[in-house]
Structure 1
């Protein structure tokens, strides 16, 4: 015990776990915040450029898809070479994307900046890379709480950047607002990612068990039924989040509300998700994580039914946003926690990245389908009801998941 205390006392504050968690949380906030405010730019940008909503939605859909496709690769690099290098690369791409978006005068240029560059940047600097770093430095007994803190930080970014983005649009115009967000995002991620510097250390092996390669870990996971169910369920989370983030502000304008309520609705979701994410992290320490996910998705489905069937007003918007915020990223601590329980933290960034890829495929479909069906039917009603059905599907696939470590054969030691 005295030795542990002396080692703790000798640790510089910049290598202490609380300081690293604070810095990682700022990175999560700075990466998640600007992309959560993209829906605020839908109406002004499409009106200025004369584009359809599907054009804007397709760019954000590409962004989400490439974010997901790049996540396992970025996670693999972070697992092998360390977190800071990957985060800085993501900061460069994300900042450049935001700065180039207002310079995009054609759909192709916009899809390249808002879609390709932004998506690849997010894959390297989003909260999933940060959570994997937390998983390597925090004990299993407190890992779910750390995941909740990192997720809540992303939510605070949404709460902070949504009204900030709307204020910048009102005072500077949407073009300058995007570029301001680009410089701010790059600066914050670059500065605070330095605290996560260092290569991951190998996890201690049990008995004569040998370390895995990245491909062995991936192959093992893809043969595990509970992992595959987790991948399928997280698709729904992505569909819900992306559709609401991008299309809710425009939906409220269509229903006759002032544009300011779009910004406040997204901010309210982010504010209450701070509570939801922290609560999910705490509850995940004491309750089965897969059962928590069942109830979260059922509650989302019921909430969307309420919102669609209730007459729209600022009061109902705030009620819906607050309740949805409690459920928004509350899925992340139990989902990432299940990955850590099943396979350990060694390749968590990559394995959670694969789960997150499913999330981003759902995001692609949710964003694009929202724009597509709006342009063809003049309404978002069909997509709302699809969201309800998917919530029920997600609840069903999470029920049989088993929260337990995968059985690995022990390799006999060489004579």
Structure 2
């Protein structure tokens, strides 16, 4: 498929039917659909494990593989989108995602689960998730739309979590977990038409604008970014975000049942997280235009550590759990707008998707370890306590890591703009 002729150029108003509002609405739709089912996969842990006689480590390993391959695939998906345009990558990703969910319903062995829930969904997410949406926003939208659109795209993913978590619980009870997975897979095909609004031009067709820096090759962009201290700090700090979020998403429902609460409380807790993250993400996008982004990130990570410490210290109750969900929701993906904004500020739009992908790779390494260590720790000790305390420690460390970040363009861009 080729990009529509009305492709926008950064700094110019889009022409034709793809107005900024249409682009944002379509991108939010993609974010909602892509983030919804994967955030609800924790509700399939118990029924699949019971039916197949697995320990929690089997399901945990498959989703850990998913998180890792999502991260590994993201820089490559971003590089392909930067070079050839977004729409091709997003279409392939959506098809892989849909197929992985549908085939997961028939995965009766650990290897089959690793291939469907792990490999197919992992690479599918790399090509269709909100990271590519945000990269498309950065390339297509005028400067004044960008920060808030980053928050809106992230918030849409959170609404997907709010929508799909109770939906998974309800459908599991009404039609069974296998049919639920097939329904979720079919829903992912809706990403295909929505992606038409997010088509970006191939690198060879992008015009050179006045004041632009000299064109970079992929290798030059990587060398520049990996040698930039602030970018490296940003990458390291984002590890914590993935560790905390993936562990909570996958293991929280089972953790709450272990503490005597119902599965419904787990479903509504993840839904509350998604609902409140809509507020948190939009607020983060708005604040990113007004406050230093490094301070927003440091405050977020430290606040998460405090919230987790208080939650695990309190007796288990639905009220305490839902309040924890609300607090974590405000902090959940509100790291994404300032993180994406910093990458865009430092390096510009040319290789934005790829460089954001490398930051996200760190996030998914954290997610891989959070899910994997969660399953192993429970099987070995019968408790998730070790992982909760690691989440607290990483939160404090990331708060410290983000403070020295310098918020300005690299010398190459600064000289060109001057």
* Paired residues, number: 403
Shift in Å at residue 345 of structure 1? 1.3
Secondary structure of residue in 2 paired with 1:15: coil
1:318 has 2:322 as partner: yes
Q: Quick check: 1:141–1:285 contact (8 Å CA) kept in 2?
A: no
Q: Superposed, which structure 2 residues align to 1:340-355 within 5 Å?
A: 340-355=344-359
Secondary structure of residue in 1 paired with 2:195: helix
Counterparts of 1:333 and 1:175, CA distance in 2? 35
Selected match of 1:103 from 84, 102, 106: 106
Per-residue Cα deviation, 1:43-97 (whole angstroms, up to 9, x for no partner)? 1111111101000000000000000000000001111111111111011000000
Distance 1:409 1:136, change over 3 A: closer
Q: Quick check: 1:142–1:285 contact (8 Å CA) kept in 2?
A: no
Q: Quick check: 2:269–2:325 contact (8 Å CA) kept in 1?
A: yes
Partner of residue 195, structure 1: 197
Partner of residue 129, structure 2: 126
Q: Quick check: 2:70–2:123 contact (8 Å CA) kept in 1?
A: yes
Calculate the TM-score normalised by the size of structure 2.
Answer: 0.94
1:395 has 2:399 as partner: yes
Selected match of 1:244 from 228, 244, 248: 248
1:385 has 2:389 as partner: yes
Distance 1:409 1:24, change over 3 A: closer
Partner of residue 289, structure 2: 285
Shift in Å at residue 197 of structure 1? 2.6
1:259 has 2:260 as partner: no
Shift in Å at residue 337 of structure 1? 0.4
The two structures, once aligned, show a CA RMSD in angstroms of 1.7
Per-residue Cα deviation, 1:162-200 (whole angstroms, up to 9, x for no partner)? 1111111010111111111001112x2112112223415
Q: Quick check: 1:129–1:349 contact (8 Å CA) kept in 2?
A: yes
Distance 1:208 1:50, change over 3 A: closer
Q: Quick check: 2:86–2:200 contact (8 Å CA) kept in 1?
A: yes
Shift in Å at residue 101 of structure 1? 0.5
Secondary structure of residue in 2 paired with 1:108: helix
Partner of residue 87, structure 1: 90
Per-residue Cα deviation, 1:310-338 (whole angstroms, up to 9, x for no partner)? 11101001000000000000000000000
Counterparts of 2:141 and 2:266, CA distance in 1? 37
Counterparts of 1:138 and 1:115, CA distance in 2? 33
Partner of residue 3, structure 1: none
Partner of residue 184, structure 1: 187
Counterparts of 1:71 and 1:20, CA distance in 2? 21
1:334 has 2:338 as partner: yes
Shift in Å at residue 42 of structure 1? 0.8
Distance 1:389 1:199, change over 3 A: same
Counterparts of 1:155 and 1:198, CA distance in 2? 24
Shift in Å at residue 207 of structure 1? 5.2
Counterparts of 2:207 and 2:371, CA distance in 1? 39
Structure 2 portions without partners, runs of 5+: 1-11
Counterparts of 2:260 and 2:384, CA distance in 1? 14
Partner of residue 170, structure 1: 173
Partner of residue 71, structure 2: 68
Partner of residue 360, structure 2: 356
Secondary structure of residue in 1 paired with 2:105: helix
Q: Quick check: 1:202–1:346 contact (8 Å CA) kept in 2?
A: no
Distance 1:127 1:180, change over 3 A: same
Distance 1:215 1:257, change over 3 A: same
Counterparts of 2:248 and 2:111, CA distance in 1? 24
Distance 1:409 1:88, change over 3 A: closer
Selected match of 2:216 from 212, 217, 221: 212
Counterparts of 1:216 and 1:278, CA distance in 2? 34
Calculate the TM-score normalised by the size of structure 1.
Answer: 0.94
